[in-house]
Amino acid sequence: MRKNAKDKRPKYIFVEALCGILAVAFCVYLLRSLLIFGDTTFQHDVYAWGLPIFHFFAESIANGHYPLWNPFSHGGEPFYTLIVSVRLLEPIALLTAYLGHFIVDDTVVLFSWTIFLQLLITAFGVYIVLRPLTANIFVRLSLMPVLLFSSFMLASFHQDGILYQFVWAPYVAYFLTRIIYYKDTRWSNWLMLAAVTGMNWQSYFFSGTWIFILFFLLAILLFKRDLLFALLKSEKLRKV
How many structural domains is the chain composed of? 2
pLDDT in tens, 35-66: 998 888 888 778 777 888 888 888 888 888 88
Domain boundary pick from 105, 136, 156: 156
Q: Looking at the structure, do residues 19 and 130 belong to the same domain, yes or no?
A: yes
Q: Looking at the structure, do residues 145 and 37 belong to the same domain, yes or no?
A: yes
Q: Looking at the structure, do residues 137 and 184 belong to the same domain, yes or no?
A: no
Domain that holds residue 237: 168-240
Is residue 35 a contact partner of residue 116, using CB atoms and an 8 Å limit? yes
Q: Looking at the structure, do residues 87 and 134 belong to the same domain, yes or no?
A: yes
Cβ neighbours of residue 173 closer than 8 Å, sequence gap 6 or more: 125, 129, 212, 216
The answer to whether position 173 is within a domain reads yes
Q: Is the dihedral of CA 57, 61, 64, 66 positive or negative?
A: positive
Domain boundary pick from 156, 184, 203: 156
> What local confidence, expressed as pLDDT, does residue 60 receive?
86
pLDDT in tens, 153-168: 778 888 877 788 888 8
Low-confidence ranges of the chain (pLDDT < 50): 1-8
Q: Looking at the structure, do residues 213 and 188 belong to the same domain, yes or no?
A: yes
Q: Looking at the structure, do residues 152 and 238 belong to the same domain, yes or no?
A: no
Q: Looking at the structure, do residues 174 and 220 belong to the same domain, yes or no?
A: yes
> What local confidence, expressed as pLDDT, does residue 1 receive?
39
> What local confidence, expressed as pLDDT, does residue 3 receive?
46
The answer to whether position 141 is within a domain reads yes
Per the document, the length of the chain is 240
Q: Looking at the structure, do residues 135 and 68 belong to the same domain, yes or no?
A: yes
